[in-house]
């Protein structure tokens, strides 16, 4: 089936009126995308051929694509920072967190229909390695972030299969990557599921539930605010948020003042003294580190020292460098250190369902949208975001 002759089936059961398609929905021969030709260079608006649809894939018309805060650094510095983790071959269409509408499905796609509103999880796996056959797709030796970067040279094969990220009008995606969006979850909100999912997977691994006290560093940032919102949704009894900006921390506390306490690293009282005071020297059940690679190790080490016996520390911020951990104490206290990278489409569906039910508070986000032709302004403007409350999206 060539790109020029693709047709889309009408959605089963009609679907929402706004998303109805005719029995033969004509697709354009070419699509508009933003592509980067050289590392660090501005993206260029171009037209490329409509991608061909494979039998297990769907074609998605992108309505919103999230812009991650670190995208500018990845585009400029990734090849020198992490040369062993390849970018997609240039020129490339980036875009990590797309949300949109299914407009066509491959011949072996049965669970999805044109008209379905979806978030596309960018995690790609091969399906055939031992980890994939064991259902551990995030452990796949070909594991790749579509529209972003790969983890080994084997990712180059995945980029061949899926060359388009979300910064374009259309993209193909494997059916296993889709998350169905409830009607009351907007595309802009759906585009935030990537950063939310990073936190959700880590919290699930740590078995967050009622009765637990959680300390979250970087609580007002993009990752940290997601961890706060999900900890609330998952029933954590008490959340201790740590960050620098006091005004943003006040907004974090206002999300659930009876369950959230906040502390600025600029306060005269140390983080460890504050946590001991507010927990009556009990410490915390879980520490979630959301500090990015540019941050220091001091807060992570404080979080480790504040764990209760049997407590867990989860790193989702990608703290860089060698961290001097007191393993003897961790052993005696039976503490656990967890590194959590990304999330599955099933976990994405959990979050979408929680958002649809109102238990995950998506109203906390302030959407800042740009058209595709303003992509370079969006990437540079994200530095002026209002902490994690700002949700930067592109509307192709």
Give mean pLDDT in consecutive 10-residue pieces for the chain, a chain of 396 residues: 40 37 68 95 96 96 92 81 89 97 97 98 97 95 96 96 97 98 98 96 97 97 97 98 97 98 97 98 97 86 97 93 90 96 97 98 96 94 86 97
CA atoms lying within 13 Å on the CB side of residue 261: 14
197, 345 in Cβ contact below 8 A?
A: no
Closest by CA to 74, choosing from 87, 84, 92, 64, is 87
Pick the CATH number of 197-339 from 2.30.130.10, 3.40.50.720, 3.40.190.10, 3.50.50.60: 3.40.50.720
- Listed in sequence order, the DSSP H helices in 106-172 are 130-133, 155-161
Helix (H, G, I), strand (E, B) or coil at 171: strand
Which superfamily does CATH assign the domain made up of 3-192+365-395 to?
A: Medium-chain alcohol dehydrogenases, catalytic domain (3.90.180.10)
Q: What is the rounded distance in angstroms from the CA atom of residue 208 to the CA atom of residue 200? A: 10
Start-to-end C-alpha separation, the chain: 25
Can you state the angle between helices 222-233 and 193-205, rounded to 10 degrees?
Answer: 60
Q: In angstroms, rounded to a whole number, what is the distance separating the alpha carbons of residues 215 and 118?
A: 32
Angle at 341 between CA 121 and CA 196, to 5 degrees: 55
pTM over 0.85: yes
The C-alpha atoms of residue 321 and residue 301 are separated, in whole angstroms, by 13
Between strands 336-339 and 307-315, the pairing is parallel
* Token code pair at residue 258: 């009876």
| 393 Cβ contact partners less than 8 Å away, ≥ 6 residues apart | 64, 65, 66, 67, 188, 191, 367, 368, 369, 370
Q: Do the beta carbons of residue 197 and residue 172 sit within 8 Å?
A: no
User: Which pLDDT score is estimated for 25?
Assistant: 60
Name the β-bridge partners of 337: 313
Give the span between the Cα atoms of 364 and 355, in whole angstroms: 12
Report CA-CA distances (Å) from 98 to 27, 37, 130, 304, 394: 19, 21, 29, 35, 9
Domains of the chain, by residue range, sit at: 3-192+365-395, 197-339
Tokens representing 138?
Answer: 């995030």
């Amino acid at each position: 089936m060539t790109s020029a002759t693709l047709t889309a089936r009408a959605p089963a059961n009609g679907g929402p009126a706004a998303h109805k398609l005719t029995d033969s929905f004509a697709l354009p021969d070419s699509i508009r995308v933003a592509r980067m030709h050289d590392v660090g260079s501005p993206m260029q608006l171009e037209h490329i051929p409509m991608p061909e649809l494979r039998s297990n894939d769907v074609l998605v018309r992108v309505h919103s694509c999230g812009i991650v805060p670190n995208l500018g650094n990845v585009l400029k510095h990734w090849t020198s920072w992490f040369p062993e983790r390849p970018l997609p071959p240039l020129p490339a269409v980036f875009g990590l967190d797309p949300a949109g509408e299914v407009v066509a499905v491959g011949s072996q796609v049965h669970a999805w229909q044109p008209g379905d509103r979806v978030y596309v999880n960018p995690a790609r796996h091969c399906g055939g390695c031992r980890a994939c056959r064991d259902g551990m797709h995030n452990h796949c030796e070909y594991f790749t972030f579509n529209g972003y970067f790969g983890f080994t040279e084997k990712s180059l094969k995945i980029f061949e299969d899926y060359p388009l990220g979300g910064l374009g009008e259309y993209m193909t995606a494997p059916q296993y990557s889709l998350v169905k969006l409830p009607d009351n979850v907007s595309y802009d909100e759906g585009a935030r599921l990537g950063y939310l999912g990073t936190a959700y997977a880590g919290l699930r691994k740590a078995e967050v539930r009622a009765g637990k006290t959680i300390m979250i560093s970087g609580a007002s940032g993009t990752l940290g605010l997601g961890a706060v919102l999900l900890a609330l949704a998952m029933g954590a009894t008490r959340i201790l948020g740590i960050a620098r900006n006091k005004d943003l921390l006040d907004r974090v506390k206002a999300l659930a003042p009876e369950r959230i306490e906040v502390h600025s690293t600029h306060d005269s009282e140390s983080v460890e003294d504050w946590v001991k005071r507010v927990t009556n020297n009990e410490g915390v059940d879980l520490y979630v580190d959301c500090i990015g690679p540019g941050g220091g190790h001091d807060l992570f080490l404080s979080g480790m020292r504040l764990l209760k016996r049997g407590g867990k520390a989860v790193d989702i911020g990608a703290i860089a460098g060698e961290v001097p951990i007191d393993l003897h104490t961790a052993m005696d206290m039976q503490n656990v250190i967890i590194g959590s990278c990304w999330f599955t489409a099933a976990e994405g569906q959990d979050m979408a369902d929680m958002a649809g039910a109102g238990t995950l508070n998506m109203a906390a986000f302030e959407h800042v949208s740009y058209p595709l032709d303003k992509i370079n302004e969006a990437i540079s403007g994200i530095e002026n975001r209002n902490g994690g409350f700002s949700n930067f999206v592109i509307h192709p």
